[in-house]
Structure 1
Amino acid sequence: MKLSRIVLASVLALTACGTADTATTPAPGASGALTPIKLQLQWFYQAQFAGYIAAVDQGFYQEQGLDVTLLEGGVDIVPQTVLAQGKADYAIAWVPKALASREQGAGITDVGQIFARSGTYQVAWKDSGITKAADLKGKKVGNWGFGNEFELFAGMTKAGVDPGKDVTLVQQQFDMQALLKKEIDAAQAMSYNEYAQLLEAKNPATGKLYTADDFAIIDWKTEGSSMLQDAVWANTAKLNDPAYQQQTVKFLTATIKGWAFCRDNPEKCRDLVVAKGSKLGRSHQLWQMNEVSKLVWPAAAGGIGTVDETAWKQTVEISQTTRNQTGDTVLTRAPEGLAYTNDYIRQAIGQAEAAGVDVDGSGFQPATVTLTEGGA
């Protein structure tokens, strides 16, 4: 199986990842000292990671005896590889990409499924007539590749559209210029990022910003081909160490508090992200904070971070059965070993709940965010 370039990079970079350092982890807060922790993010600083940024800023990790350093991601950084190599204690990664790395030997386990649902769209112009996956047949379809394409491919396959024959696939940049210039008929976008870029662009015909009425969205949750995305991954071998187990519960407890804080204080978290050095503007980050909260809240049954078995099985099934344009799948077999566990997140939920944190977010109501040109 030929994996996407980003997964190949992770595979090539792995060195004895199944035998990661299993030395005893110092008990958090032992002797009054904070335990240093490194968390590898999967992209540049933005509101996608606001909960972790807030947990650092608000002292939630410190309350748990942890001194957490956030490691910024980037184009050439594969979080699960950094974790498997022992260069980070935890990592944030999409489930399909992490499972592909596990199949190649990475000893990692999903211990906190923070995003309960997918935020991936395929966006087209409203007047294109494209409203569902079946309408992509015969069209120029943009996608990023790098393992991000399988929801799109699964949606097309389910609709009877052969991704290798029935559409013209176009390698899309991580922006929406190809759609805005009408070089492609449909573009891949995250609800919290690239879609907002469309609404921050000026319509040259009117001199005003485009609105949602100008576009049509294919939401893979509606099409039934969505896959689980941002999760907290831990080192599987080290989970045999009681000290690391305890540390994981503490880390997740503080993380829950961070995401609940951002749910209830979106503008404050927007400011924290901007201050962290994000290259995206204030209105864009507020939009992103609002949209990301929709992916977290209301939480899956059991509380924030709990892996929903149905969603997990759908992700694995798509990973095993959906083929991209070259005929490859994400996985060749079902995940083996401890691919995920709810043991630690359940303990963390209990501790957060005991501290008065709303771990379900059932009353969450998203705001209406007004974007400005360029997301400033």
Structure 2
Amino acid sequence: MNLLFVFLTIFFFVLPGAQAGEQVSVQLLWKHQFEFAAFYAAQEQGYYRAAGLEVTLREGGPGVDAVKEVLESRADFAVGTSALVVERYLGKPVVVLATLMQHSPIALLARRGNGVESVLDLAGKPVAVDAHDHDEIEAFLRASGIPAAQIKLIGQSDWTLASLDQGREAAKVVYTSNEPFLILGREHEYLLLTPRSAGIDLFGNVLFSREAFVKQHPETVRAFREATLKGLVYA
């Protein structure tokens, strides 16, 4: 599948601005943090207000499926990852509106005390991943030379370092914008493994919506997209 082709199915609009005070909601991919600065800046600088929008930012977290929230109309927009390519391929009516992060922040964090000194040491060992990151991590491990039969991906049980420190997992998915700060002062105990080191360089965060909303509210989508990108530039 051609990633570029899929991501070029972006909608561009030239219709008038959204109606004044129109309320829209955004499902964030994770808890509030700097990677969503484009939205915070657009709010604080009044870009959304100037576009006639009242925007509610909904915090993400464990168990929150951004795609499901959008498709079931609990959110109008959301932040997703390159996994949206797969969702679209499977027939889900998601529409990518813009790329917010050129490179994926996904990485694996391993503890050296568990016998991991390189990505190849993860062969046959449990690697904890979130459902949204499964495909990217699997591609990373295979590109690194680990046979498919020796890739052992398990569900992410928690978002702390306890599972690594206790040896229950050999590695786990982290965001380079977040979890690595938890190991400050203990960096020598851990190993950060990035998909980019194996040539897997996917898009990071992307802004998306659902087909029905895009078709029914094109002026709102255009106004929200432009205000968000303006916030991205400011941030």
Tell me what 2:101 maps to. 115
**Secondary structure, counterpart of 1:88 in structure 2:** coil
Instruction: Calculate the aligned-residue CA RMSD, in Å.
Output: 2.7
Shift of 1:223: 0.8
Whole-Å separation in 1 of the counterparts to 2:34 and 2:148: 32
* Structure 2 runs not aligned, ≥5 long: 1-14
1:37-186 counterparts in 2 under 5 A?
Answer: 37-96=24-83, 98-125=84-111, 128=115, 130-131=117-118, 133-138=119-124, 140-164=125-149, 166=150, 169-172=153-156, 173-186=158-171
**Map of 1:261 onto structure 2:** 234
CA deviation map 1:68-125 (0-9, x unaligned): 11222233332222222333321111231x3444344432210101111111112234
* Whole-angstrom distance in 1 between the partners of 2:151 and 2:64: 31
Q: TM-score, normalised by structure 1?
A: 0.52
| Matching residue of 1:229 | 204
Is 2:130–2:173's contact at 8 Å kept on the other side of the alignment? no
Rate the CA distance shift 1:121–1:177 in 2: closer, same or farther, 3 A.
same
CA contact (8 A) 1:39 1:91 kept: yes
What is the distance in 2 between the residues matched to 1:145 and 1:51? 24
Alpha-carbon distance between aligned partners in 2 of 1:89 and 1:124, rounded to the nearest angstrom: 36
Higher relative contact order (CA 8 A, sep 6+): 2
Q: Secondary structure at the match of 1:118?
A: coil
**Alignment gaps of 5+ in structure 1:** 1-25, 200-208, 263-376
CA distance in 2, matches of 1:76, 1:155: 24
Relative to the length of structure 2, the TM-score reads 0.78
Change (3 A) 1:222 1:39: same
For residues 285-337 of structure 1, give each alpha carbon's deviation from its aligned partner in whole angstroms, at most 9, with x where no partner exists. Answer: xxxxxxxxxxxxxxxxxxxxxxxxxxxxxxxxxxxxxxxxxxxxxxxxxxxxx
1:247 maps to which residue?
Answer: 220
Distance change >3 Å, CA 149–CA 235, structure 1 → 2: closer
| Distance of aligned partners of 1:184 and 1:62 in 2 relative to their CA distance in 1, 3 Å threshold | same
Contact map agreement 1:28 1:34 (CA 8 A) in 2:
no
Taking structure 1 as reference, are residues 44 and 124 closer, same or farther at Cα in structure 2, changes over 3 Å only?
closer
Measured in 1, the distance between the counterparts of 2:123 and 2:90 equals 34
Q: Secondary structure at the match of 1:39?
A: strand
Higher strand share: 2
Q: Is the Cα–Cα contact under 8 Å of residues 137 and 167 in structure 1 kept in the other structure?
A: yes
Q: Is the 8 A contact 1:144 1:174 kept in 2?
A: no
Is the CA contact (8 Å cut-off) linking 1:27 and 1:35 kept in structure 2? no
Task: Determine helix, strand or coil for the equivalent of 1:95.
Answer: coil
> Over residues 181-203 of structure 1, what are the superposed CA-to-partner deviations in whole Å (9 max), with x where a residue is unaligned?
3444333221112222222xxxx
SS in 2 for 1:154: helix
Q: Residue type matched to 2:192 in 1?
A: I
CA shift digits 1:240-285 (9 cap, x unpaired): 45xx3333232122112222333xxxxxxxxxxxxxxxxxxxxxxx
2:201 counterpart of 1:217: no
Indicate if the aligned counterparts of 1:81 and 1:106 stay in contact, CA closer than 8 A.
no
Same amino acid, percent of matched pairs: 22
1:61: how far off? 0.6
